[in-house]
Amino acid sequence: MEVRIQAIHFEATEKLQDFIEKKVAKFGKFNEEIRKVEVSLKVVKPETAMNKEASIKVLALNGEFFAEKVCDTFEEAVDECLDALIRQLSKYKEKQRIH
């Protein structure tokens, strides 16, 4: 599974990148067909609280899944995106079992 992290208009720290890669690696358990995960991070203007935006796109053989969240920290935003994507992947898997 390929992971691409893109920080828009700022430099993501190594610690943040490691955090994202560890979290994203857990996707493998939910769906073996995931080929690529694209993470975009950006600071929303104006500079206030709740201005860290993370969007994650998951490309799998069976489709594309997407989540975007804005929070106080990038870690929090990534966590919330992952929760939403896990729900999407679980629902998709359920539908596949039914059909």
Please state which CATH number belongs to domain 2-98.
3.30.160.100
The pLDDT assigned to 61 comes to 84
Our CA dihedral for 20, 21, 22, 25, rounded to 10 degrees, sits at 120
Question: Over the stretch 41-94, which tens digit does the pLDDT of each residue have?
Answer: 999 987 778 899 999 999 988 789 999 999 999 999 999 999 999 999 888 888
44 contacts: CB under 8 Å, gap ≥ 6: 51, 52, 53, 70
pTM for this predicted structure = 0.91
In whole angstroms, give the CA distance from residue 19 to residue 21. 6
